[in-house]
Amino acid sequence: MIDKFKAKFVEESLDNVNDLEEALFALENDMQSKDLIERIFRAMHSLKGGGAMFGFNHLSDFTHHLENIFDKVRNSKIEVTPDLISLTFSAVDEIKYLLEKGDLTAKDDLDEYNRMMGQIQNFLQGGGPGNQESISASDDNTPAGDSGEKTYLISFIPGEDLLQNGTNPLFLLDDLHALGKGHSIVYTHKIPSFENIESENNYCLWQIILSTNESVNEIKDVFIFVEDECDLSVEELGNGGFEMTPAVEKFIENARNSNTLIKVSDLKVLLNKNETEGKKTEQGQENTETDQGRKKSQLKEHKISSIRVASRKIDELVNLVSELVTTQAQLSVYAEKKGDNDILELAENVQKLSRQLRDNAFEISLIPMQSELMRFQRLVRDLSKELGKEIEFVIEGGDIELDKNIIEHLTDPLLHILRNSVDHGIEKPDERVAAGKSPKGNIYFKAYHAGASVLIEVTDDGRGIDVESIRAKAVSKGMIEENEELSHKEILNLIFLSGFSTRDTVSGVSGRGVGMDVVRKKISEIRGEVTIDSEVGQGTTVTLRLPLTLSIIDGLLVKIGENQYVVPIASIEKIFALDKSQLKDSFNRVVIIDNEQLPYVDMREIFKEEVKESETPQMVLVRHEERRLGLMVDEVLGEHQTVVKPMGRYLTSHEVVSGASILGDGSISLVIDTNRVLQLTSTGKFRGKTKTSKE
C-alpha cells in the first residue's frame, strides 16, 4: 500500500530539493547563517526519512550521509566552505536523479552513486571523527531467543510522575500478559493518606511473574517508552512454566501485606519445592478487545491549508469555464432578444457568476515563477564557474505568478537567453577590468506586471552586441541588402531570424544552432513577444512580454465596418466619442483630446473594412508603457468576456490579431493585439512591410 504514496513523495521531495537548493544559494552568500543550515538540514532530514519509508533506499542512504555532514555543520564541528557547498550542489543533482530513478540498478549509475558517496564520506572523515551510526534503525531485531518457556520475575517500580506523560501502566501490564501467562502483584503501600494524595501521581508498584517463550529483550521492550522513568528488573526464575499453588499464593499474600517486594531467590526456592506438586490454578487474563467499530472508515474533519491537484484537472477546469463563458454569452443574447425580464435577470446572474468562476479558475492555474528560478540560478552559477567568469545574478520579482502552461514554455527560452548572457555577454574578469568595469559581471533578472501582461527582463552589463557585425553578417548571408537603411533596433532584431548566430566559433555552451530564432518562436507560441536592446560595451537587455493567462480575457466589443472586433480591456485607458469636425481638422493623424495630442489609427484601414464617413466614430485610447494610441472604431458595443481561440496555422502571421472569439450569437470576432498595433504604428509600418520581424 505504500506504493500509492510514492508519486506524492517524489513530488514533495522535489519541493524539498528545491528548498534545499535555494538555501544553498543563500548559504553561499552567508556562510554563517544558522537558519540556513537548519533549513538545509531539515530538507535533508525529510528526504532521508521519507526515502526509507517509500522504498528509495539509495536516496535514504545517500542523504543520510549528507545529513551527517550538516549535522556536524549545525554543531559547529565542520565549517561551511565553498568546497562543501559545491559538493552539496552536486549531491543535490544526485538526489534529483535518485528521485527520478528510484533505487539504482544500472552499473554506470551505481558507479556514479558510489563515487559521490565516497566524496561525501571523505568529507565526513576529513571534517572530524566520523561517528557513523547505521541507518537501519529498525528496532524489531529480536535475537532468536532460547526456545522453550521460561519464567521471570519482573519488578516494575515507576516514578510518581509516570502518569503525567500520558502513559497508562495498566497497558504495560496488559502487554506483559499478552506475552505469556502471568500473574501481577500490585503494591499499594506507597499511597499516602487521603489528604496528601496528589491525584495526578502514581503511587503503585508492581511485580509480575511471567511465563513466556519470549526473550528478555522482548519483555523489556514493553517498557521501552518508560524505561527512563522507572526502575525495572527482569530476573529469570527458571525454565518451564509457572504454576500458582496455595503455597505460592500465600507467599505472595505475605509479601503484599508486609509491603516488601518478592526476592527472586526466595521465590526460586519456593518454586523448586513446588515442582513436584501437581496442582493447577489457571490464571489467564484474556484481553477481550472490545470491537470499537474499527474497519469502518469514517468521514473525518479535515483542515489543510493547501492541496495538490493534478495539473490535468486544472486544464480541464479552465476548459470547462471557457465553454461556460461562451454559452453564457449565448444566453445573454437570447435573453436580450426575448426581452423577458425574468430571463434577463437570470442571464445577468449567470454572467456575474461565470465571471467570478473564470477569475477563480485562472487564479488557481497561476503558479509563481520561483521554482524555475532555481534552475536559472544554477545555470548561471555552474556556467560561470566553467567559463572562469565572475557573475552576480540578481533576481527581482520571482514571486510573480503566471499561468503554468506559460511557465512551462518559458523555461527553455529563458535558459537560452541566460546562457547567451553568461557566454557571450559577460566578459572574463581581466577583459572587464581592461574595459574599466568591475571584474564581477552582473546579470539582472526582473519580472513585473505591466497591464495584462508580465514582462521579464534579462539584463547583463557585458560587452553588448556590435550592430555593425550583425549587419555585416546579415549582408553576407543575404538577409538584407548591403545598402539597406535600418535603425539600430531593426538591426538588433535581425538576430531573431532563423539561421543567425553571432559567434563564428561554436562553443560548447551556446550557439549550438539553437539561436534566438527558436527563442522567438517559442515565446510567440504562448502569445508573447521578445525584444532585444543592446549597446556595445554597455550590455544587453532581452525583454519578454507574456500574457498573464492564455485563454480568457475581458474584452471590449467594438464594431469596425460591418464586423465586430474585441479589444482587450486591460490595455484600454479611455473611450471617447468623437466629433467629425475634430477629425476634419486633424493633421497627420493626430487628434487633440483633453488638450493632449494623440496619434490615432483608423481601424477600418487596418482591417481593410470599407472606409466611409462615420457619423459617430469613437476613439478607444490604448496604452502600452509610455506610448498611447487612439483606435478609431465605428461603434463601441460593450463588454464581452472573450474566450480567445488560437487562429490556426494559416492566420498566425496576421500581425495585429492575437486570436478569435465566438460571440453569443455564434458569429466570430477577431481579437485585436493592441500592443502590436502600437508597435507597428510607431515604426510607421503595417503588415507586410516589416522586414525586421517577418522573413
Partner 1 sequence: MAKTVLIVDDSESIREVVNFTLQNEGYDVLVGVDGDDALQFLDGRPIDIIITDLHMPNMDGLELIRRVREMDDYKHIPILFLTTESQAAKKMEAKQAGATGWIIKPFVPAKLLSAISRVLR
Nearer Cβ to partner 1, position 313 or 477?
Answer: 313
What angle do helix axes 57-74 and 107-126 make, rounded to 10 degrees? 20
Based on the shown chain and the rule CB under 8 A, indicate whether residue 50 belongs to the binding site for partner 1: yes
> Binding to partner 1 (CB under 8 A): which residues in 24-43?
42
**Distances in Å between the alpha carbon of 477 and those of 432, 467, 693?**
31, 15, 17
To partner 1, the closest distance from the beta carbon of 63 in angstroms equals 11
- Strands 180-187 and 205-212 come out as antiparallel
Instruction: For the segment 193-252, give every residue that binds partner 1 (CB under 8 A).
Output: 200, 224-225, 228-229
53 binds partner 1 (CB under 8 A): yes
Cell numbers given for 122:
571523505
Closest alpha carbon to 515 in 468, 488, 477: 477
Tell me which amino acid residue 588 is. Answer: N
Q: Measured from the CB atom, is 280 or 302 closer to partner 1? A: 302
- Following DSSP, what letter does each residue of 446-484 receive, concatenated? EEEEETTEEEEEEEE-SS---HHHHHHHHHHTTSS-TT-
Q: Is 303 in the site for partner 1 (CB under 8 A)?
A: yes
**Min dist. Cβ of residue 77 to partner 1 (A):** 15
Residue 398's φ and ψ, nearest 5 degrees, are -65, -15
Verify binding: residue 74, partner 1, rule CB under 8 A. Answer: no
Cα first-last separation, the chain: 58
Q: C-beta of 109: minimal distance to partner 1 in Å?
A: 23
Rank residues 132 and 259 by Cβ distance to partner 1 and give the closer one. Answer: 132
Nearer Cβ to partner 1, position 107 or 295?
Answer: 295
* Binding status of residue 341 toward partner 1 by CB under 8 A: no
| Residue of the chain from 76, 108, 129, 137 that contacts partner 1 (CB under 8 A) | 137
Which one of residues 300, 312, 612, 649 is an interface residue with partner 1 (CB under 8 A)? 300
CB of residue 35 to partner 1, shortest distance in Å: 11
Cβ of residue 46: shortest distance to partner 1, in angstroms? 5
Q: Which amino acid is at 622?
A: V
Burial tier of 659 (Cβ tally within 10 Å: 0-12, 13-18, 19+): buried
Restricting to residues 149-188, name those near partner 1 by CB under 8 A: 163-168, 171, 174-175
Element (H, E) at 489: helix 488-493
Asked if 45 is part of the footprint of partner 1 (rule: CB under 8 A), the reply reads yes
Contacting residue, 100, 108, 139, 613, with partner 1 by CB under 8 A: 139
What is the crossing angle of helices 404-420 and 516-525, to 10°? 170
Is 531 in contact with 542 (CB distance < 8 Å)? yes
Residue 297 engages partner 1 in binding (rule: CB under 8 A):
yes
Identify which range of 45-53, 80-88, 257-265, 523-531 contacts partner 1 by CB under 8 A. 45-53
Contact flag: residue 52 with partner 1 (CB under 8 A): yes
Considering the rule CB under 8 A, would residue 310 count as an interface residue with partner 1?
Answer: no
DSSP character string of 358-373: HHHHHHHHEEETHHHH
- Alpha-carbon distance of 288 to 351, in angstroms, equals 63
Nearer to partner 1, 102 or 238 (CB): 102
Residues binding partner 1 (CB under 8 A): 1-2, 5, 8-9, 12, 42, 45-46, 48-50, 52-54, 60, 133, 137-140, 163-168, 171, 174-175, 200, 224-225, 228-229, 289, 292-298, 300-305, 308
